[in-house]
């Protein structure tokens, strides 16, 4: 492992420790204030107050030890020495130069982390694997069957993954585990190489955005603009930057003309596009759609699907789409098939659709295009793997 990679990992740990310890410090100081006021009312004796004060002092001392960032200073110093000892203008030199710049950046970040005590910290990407699930199990209650039962999967950054499965197969439960609403009973989750824990879940959430099923449940603001701004205010984005971010995200879903409109007056498809813009404004790396098109009319459905394909084509986001719409899986790079809490298949749409009987056996439909292909195959025509109707027509005409 390179020194900087190790330092980046340490930086994440450093932020988490600061964050955790800051909470401890706040609690200890509150306890002290309460003890003093109780003493004033003669509810406790001076011994009690002294003990609480001592506790506070200990926590404060520990905090000081934790804010020791000499490791990062040392890492930057070593990178500088390495740069000095390298012959100028060689390939090695420029490599050492890049490493040095990164080491300085990490050191500066450690200072920022001390200043904001780990709050508002951003975890760094440690890997190009957007999501890694390792044997995830979850049950809603002790003694109940597992709603998610031993799911392991790896998804790389930039992929569009469709999650399909019969009702009750565990899709929504799995998505709630991924976004950190539910903690798995066993198993581990890594997001961009960061192992998700109870303590860093808030920081991990910054990698994630979600668009839900019901467009009407996602609105808070009185205009589209207010609505997109809401999440930004929550994240304490500088007001001067907001207007640009709002316009940019609205453009990505072609809703820039509607910024002053009232959200409730929009069509279903438009509402979902605004919901996507609100998620995009926070620039998540992973975007999850939980049946985001299921309540829309055909026009709305195709509008939203179109946006999802455009997002996929930028390869800037990793997209998960939970869906009952079998036609949608043709847009995906990979398909996860869930059945009774288990991931029973993971592959390209072509691979998944080559097992039509299996899909039927777990009560899943076959996409319309694939149904036509199947009918043609039964008539002896060799057509397969068309992603949409146009492609199918082309394929037939070539025969």
Ligand X SMILES: Nc1ncnc2c1ncn2[C@@H]1O[C@H](COP(=O)(O)OP(=O)(O)OP(=O)(O)O)[C@@H](O)[C@H]1O
Residue closest to Mg ion, measured at CB: 172
Q: Could you say which of 21, 117, 132, 171 contacts ligand X (CB under 6 A)?
A: 171
The number of residues that bind ligand X (CB under 6 A) is 10
Under rule CB under 6 A, residue 140 binds ligand X:
yes
Contact 260, 224 (CB under 8 A): yes
- Min dist CB 165 to Mg ion, Å, is 9
Q: Could you say which of 118, 165, 269, 367 contacts ligand X (CB under 6 A)?
A: 165
Question: How far is Cα 223 from Cα 230, in angstroms, rounded to an integer?
Answer: 11
Q: Partners of 148 in the beta sheet?
A: 138
Q: Are strands 318-322 and 286-290 parallel, antiparallel or unpaired?
A: parallel
Q: Partners of 156 in the beta sheet?
A: 129
Closer to Mg ion by CB, 172 or 194: give it: 172
Print the binding letters for residues 252-291 with Mg ion: x by CB under 5 A, - otherwise.
----------------------------------------
Question: How far is Cα 396 from Cα 386, in angstroms, rounded to an integer?
Answer: 10
Task: Report the greatest alpha carbon distance in the chain.
Answer: 94
Q: Which stretch binds ligand X (CB under 6 A): 125-133, 171-179, 245-253, 258-266?
A: 171-179
Residue 176 Rama label (left phi>0; alpha psi -120 to 50; beta): alpha
Contact 71, 65 (CB under 8 A): no
Which of ligand X, Mg ion, none is residue 170 near (CB under 5 to 8 Å by kind)? Answer: ligand X
Closer to Mg ion by CB, 69 or 172: give it: 172
Q: Which stretch binds ligand X (CB under 6 A): 97-105, 126-134, 163-171, 368-376?
A: 163-171
- Min dist CB 215 to ligand X, Å, is 17
Question: How far is Cα 188 from Cα 132, in angstroms, rounded to an integer?
Answer: 8
Q: Could you tell me where the DSSP H helices lie in the chain?
A: 3-40, 46-66, 70-84, 91-115, 171-178, 201-204, 224-234, 239-252, 268-281, 298-314, 349-353, 356-361, 368-378, 389-398
For the segment 157-176, give every residue that binds Mg ion (CB under 5 A).
172
- Min dist CB 355 to Mg ion, Å, is 23
Contact 17, 66 (CB under 8 A): yes
The DSSP element (H or E) to which 150 belongs, if any, is strand 148-156
The number of residues that bind Mg ion (CB under 5 A) is 1
- Min dist CB 175 to Mg ion, Å, is 8
Q: Partners of 137 in the beta sheet?
A: 149, 186
Closer to ligand X by CB, 110 or 323: give it: 323
Print the binding letters for residues 171-210 with Mg ion: x by CB under 5 A, - otherwise.
-x--------------------------------------
Which of ligand X, Mg ion, none is residue 169 near (CB under 5 to 8 Å by kind)? Answer: ligand X
- Min dist CB 167 to ligand X, Å, is 4
Which of Mg ion, ligand X, none is residue 48 near (CB under 5 to 8 Å by kind)? Answer: none
Q: Which two tokens stand for residue 242?
A: 């907001």
Q: Are strands 318-322 and 160-165 parallel, antiparallel or unpaired?
A: parallel
Question: How far is Cα 115 from Cα 110, in angstroms, rounded to an integer?
Answer: 9
Under rule CB under 6 A, residue 183 binds ligand X:
no
- Min dist CB 275 to Mg ion, Å, is 17
Question: How far is Cα 328 from Cα 76, in angstroms, rounded to an integer?
Answer: 49
Q: Which two tokens stand for residue 361?
A: 């056996």
Q: Could you say which of 11, 147, 151, 279 contacts ligand X (CB under 6 A)?
A: 147
Angle at 289 (CA atoms; ends 288, 292), nearest 5 degrees: 165
Which of ligand X, Mg ion, none is residue 193 near (CB under 5 to 8 Å by kind)? Answer: none
Under rule CB under 6 A, residue 167 binds ligand X:
yes
Provide the binding-site residues for ligand X, judged by CB under 6 A: 140, 147, 165, 167-173
Provide the binding-site residues for Mg ion, judged by CB under 5 A: 172
């Amino acid at each position: 492992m390179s020194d900087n990679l190790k330092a980046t990992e340490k930086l994440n740990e450093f932020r988490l420790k600061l964050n955790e310890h800051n909470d401890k410090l706040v609690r200890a100081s509150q306890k002290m204030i309460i003890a003093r006021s109780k003493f004033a009312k003669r509810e406790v004796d001076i011994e009690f107050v002294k003990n609480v004060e001592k506790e506070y002092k200990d926590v404060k001392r520990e905090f000081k030890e934790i804010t020791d960032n000499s490791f990062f200073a040392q890492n930057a110093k070593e990178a500088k020495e390495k740069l000095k000892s390298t012959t100028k203008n060689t390939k090695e030199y420029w490599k050492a130069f890049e490493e040095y710049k990164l080491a300085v950046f990490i050191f500066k970040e450690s200072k920022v982390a001390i200043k904001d005590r780990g709050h508002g910290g951003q975890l760094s990407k440690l890997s190009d694997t957007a999501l890694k699930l390792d044997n995830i199990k979850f049950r809603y209650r002790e003694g109940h069957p597992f709603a998610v039962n031993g799911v392991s999967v790896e998804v790389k950054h930039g992929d569009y993954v469709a999650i399909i499965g019969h009702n009750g197969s565990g899709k929504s439960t799995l998505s709630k585990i991924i976004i950190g609403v539910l903690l798995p009973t066993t198993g581990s989750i890594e997001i961009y190489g960061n192992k998700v824990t109870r303590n860093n879940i808030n920081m991990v959430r910054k990698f994630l955005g979600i668009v839900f099923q019901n467009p009407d449940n996602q609105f808070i603001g009185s205009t589209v603009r207010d609505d997109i701004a809401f999440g930004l205010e929550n994240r304490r984005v500088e007001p001067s930057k907001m207007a640009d971010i709002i316009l940019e995200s609205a453009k990505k879903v072609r809703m820039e003309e509607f910024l002053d409109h009232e959200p409730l007056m929009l069509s279903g498809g438009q509402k979902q596009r605004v919901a996507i813009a609100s998620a995009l404004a926070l620039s998540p790396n992973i975007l999850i759609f939980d049946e985001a098109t299921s309540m829309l009319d055909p026009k709305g459905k195709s509008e939203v699907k179109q946006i999802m394909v455009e997002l996929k084509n930028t390869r800037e986001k990793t997209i998960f789409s939970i869906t009952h719409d079998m036609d949608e899986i043709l847009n995906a790079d990979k398909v996860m098939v869930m059945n009774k809490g288990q991931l029973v298949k993971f592959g390209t749409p072509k691979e998944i659709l080559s097992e039509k009987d299996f899909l039927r056996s777990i009560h899943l439909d076959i996409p319309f295009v694939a149904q036509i292909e199947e009918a043609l195959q039964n008539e002896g025509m060799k057509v397969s793997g068309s992603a949409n109707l146009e492609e199918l027509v082309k394929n037939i005409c070539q025969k």
